[in-house]
Amino acid sequence: MGNEYRNLQIDRGSEIWRILISRPGDRNSIDSPLMVELEAALNEAEQGSVRAVVFSGKGKEYFIGGADGIEMMQCSPEQAEAFSERIQTLFNRMEASPLILVAAVNGLCFGGGFEFALACDLRLAAHSARIGLPEVKVGIIPGGGGTQRLPRLVGPGLATEMIFSGRLYGGQEAARLGLVNRAAEDKDLLAEAERMLEPILRNPQHALRRAKAAIKGGQDLTSGLAEERAQFGPCFGHKFFVELMKKQLKSGLLVTTAQLPAGFLD
């Protein structure tokens, strides 16, 4: 792939990269090609002197608007479980990176978007951000590690309430609840991310890398993620999600740049 990315805009600083997730016609959602690009960008960053990566979303409306519903609505239960495994693999790869990954949540951040943020080491949210896991509202469940990482972050009580209700939380409330490390004024979000990193990057890289490995190593996700995949796939044996997506596409509530098979919406 080299240094060319279709869905990412990268500002390559000497120690900090800013990566802008850029699928504006599709809510910056995570589809299979974007997953490939994100892995490639991590591989590239790890080859040089980079120590941290700050992710944000293109535009003011979305950080990441979930995993790509258009791709998922065409999945059988078996394909949905495979999609879950693929996105889990990306997020596991992020956690395993020696770099410090920061999610600068600058807009709507739900479903797979929040699961992406959960796989980062640090999270900041703009005051206007809205964050949560609303999958049950569309008849599925989190499939990118949300059922496992969220309880580890905020405890099972709050995580259960969040997942069962599908509620979205504003940036300041998200900070108060511990969903993000801190909130910032929208215009100051990226500057605040770098202010957060400044004292961290004064420390030696080998110590930061080993500290991250120790923190992540104490949170065994393997069996939990497998169970999540096993419960995610069968949701696609029900018509609720697909019929809801079709209805939203026909009404114009949901737009996409994807080309659906002929007759798919009939």
d(CA 57, CA 65): 9
- CB count within 10 Å of CB 1 equals 12
d(CA 225, CA 189): 31
Q: Which among 115, 161, 194, 227 is annotated as catalytic?
A: 115
- Sign of the C-alpha dihedral, residues 251, 252, 254, 257? positive
Digit-coded pLDDT (tens) for 36-82: 999 999 999 999 899 999 999 999 999 999 999 999 999 999 999 99
pLDDT band of residue 3 (cuts 50, 70, 90) is: low
Digit-coded pLDDT (tens) for 152-182: 999 999 999 999 999 999 999 999 999 999 9
- Which two tokens mark 27? 């809510």
Residue 200 has pLDDT above 80, yes or no: yes
Residue 94 has pLDDT above 80, yes or no: yes
d(CA 159, CA 156): 5
160 three-state secondary structure: helix
| Catalytic (active site) residue 135 | yes
Instruction: Write down the pTM of the prediction.
Output: 0.94
| Catalytic (active site) residue 115 | yes
- CB count within 10 Å of CB 225 equals 22
- The DSSP H or E segment spanning 188 is none
Q: Which among 135, 185, 198, 228 is annotated as catalytic?
A: 135
Per the prediction, the chain carries an average pLDDT of: 95
- The residue count of the chain comes to 266
Residue 121 has pLDDT above 50, yes or no: yes
